[in-house]
Structure 1
Amino acid sequence: MQDIAVIEDPAAAEASLDPIRTRILRELVLPASATQLAVRVGLPRQKVNYHLKALERHGLVELVEERRKGNVTERVLQAAAASYLISPSALAAVSPDPGRFADRFSAFWLLALAGRMVQEVGKLITGAAAARQKLATFAIDGDITFRTAADRAAFAEELGVEVTRLVDKYHDGGGSPCGRRHRLVVALHPALKETNASTATNETAGKEQDK
């Protein structure tokens, strides 16, 4: 089972978005038969079987084993991945093109870049898995609080200068036959504000810890 699978086929994307099938995929993080799943999701086994066949047809679930019980063969299935992402290629005709925006201060360009990253890294993971090789990637995720908009702008300017310096230092412009081109994306955006519900949950958890 993969940690994350990227869905590129439009039909597979459509199949995965059905609420019942989404529930089944979540339940199939651990292998189960249609009979076992029917109990978990509260549906007739025949209906669960129908959804399982659709998911299996699109490669979203995989056969783990077959168990013989008298005259009946029980099929045990598992989700192909623990989590799924739908690639922009599943909506190829309307997927965002980073070349259309090309403005480092545009939120739409940021989304287009993120979409391209999902699409490209998904293909790379598939290729690396087929070749039984590790995929060399690197990411940083963190939070930073700015006192003012001016501080945020100054940070962005300094970050851009420093990244450009590093690119100039390590980029092989000579076209070495051993070189491998890499994508570099640096993003900065406001963090989502906590909702009242999540804030209340955090406060309750804090009070419980104080007891």
Structure 2
Amino acid sequence: MQDIAIIEDPAAAEASLDPIRTQILRELVQPGSATQLAVRVGLPRQKVNYHLKALERHGLVELVEERRKGNVTERVVQATAASYLISPTALAAVSPDPRRFADRFSAFWLLALAGRMVQEVGKLLAGAAAARQKLATFAIDGDITFRSAADRAAFAEELGVEVTRLVDKYHDGGAAPQGRRHRLVVALHPALKETNAPKAANQTAGKEQDND
């Protein structure tokens, strides 16, 4: 089972968005049969079977084992991933294209960049899985509280200068044969309001490093 599966097929995306099927996928983080699922989700086994066939047809559920019980064969299935993310590829005709405009202060451009990231990393993960390799990535996620809008603007300005300096330092403009182009996205946006939200800056970084 994958940690996260990227859904690119429009039909698979449609199937996953059905509320009952979403509930079934959540239950199938652990393997189960149609009979077991019927009890968990409160639906007749025949109806659960109908939804399971649709999910399996779109690659969202897979067979784990078959158990023989008398004259009946019980199929035990499991979700193909613990979580799913729908790629903008599923809505290719209307998905945002960050190349259409570039505005560092536009929330819509930020969304377009995020959508492109989901699409590209999803394809890279599929390729890495086929090659049985890990995908080399690096991410930073943190919270920072600014005293004022002026402080936020100053921070953004300094961050931009530092990122540009690092890009100039490490970018190989000669495009060496052994070089590999990487995508860099830096984002800053207000955090959603939460109860007891942390007031101090707190950063965590995650890193996977291997061949790509």
Same fold (TM over 0.5): yes
Question: What SS does the corresponding residue of 2:205 show, helix, strand or coil?
Answer: helix
Tell me the alpha carbon deviations over residues 120-165 of structure 1, each in whole angstroms, 9 at most, x when there is no partner: 1111111111111000000000000001111100000000000000
Tell me the alpha carbon deviations over residues 30-64 of structure 1, each in whole angstroms, 9 at most, x when there is no partner: 00000110010010000000000000000001110
Per the TM alignment, residue 99 of structure 1 is displaced from its structure 2 partner at its CA by 1.0
> Do the aligned partners of residues 32 and 192 (structure 1) sit closer, same or farther apart at CA in structure 2, a change above 3 Å counting?
same
Matches within 5 A, 1:29-178: 29-178=29-178
- Structure showing the higher strand proportion among its residues: 2
The one of the two structures with greater contact order (alpha-carbon pairs below 8 A, sep at least 6) is 2
Matches within 5 A, 1:191-206: 191-194=191-194
Q: C-alpha distance in 1, partners of 2:123/2:203?
A: 42
Tell me the alpha carbon deviations over residues 86-134 of structure 1, each in whole angstroms, 9 at most, x when there is no partner: 0001001100000122111110000000000000111111111111100
Equivalent residues of 2:140, 2:203 under 8 A apart: no
Equivalent residues of 1:101, 1:108 under 8 A apart: no
Tell me the alpha carbon deviations over residues 16-43 of structure 1, each in whole angstroms, 9 at most, x when there is no partner: 0000000000000000000110010010
Q: C-alpha distance in 2, partners of 1:7/1:127?
A: 15
Per the TM alignment, residue 193 of structure 1 is displaced from its structure 2 partner at its CA by 1.3
Question: What SS does the corresponding residue of 2:137 show, helix, strand or coil?
Answer: coil
> Do the aligned partners of residues 99 and 210 (structure 1) sit closer, same or farther apart at CA in structure 2, a change above 3 Å counting?
closer
- Structure showing the higher helix proportion among its residues: 1
Over the aligned positions, Cα root-mean-square deviation in angstroms equals 7.5
Q: C-alpha distance in 2, partners of 1:167/1:210?
A: 22
Q: Taking structure 2 as the reference length, what is the TM-score of the superposition? A: 0.91
Structure 2, unaligned stretches of length 5 or more?
none
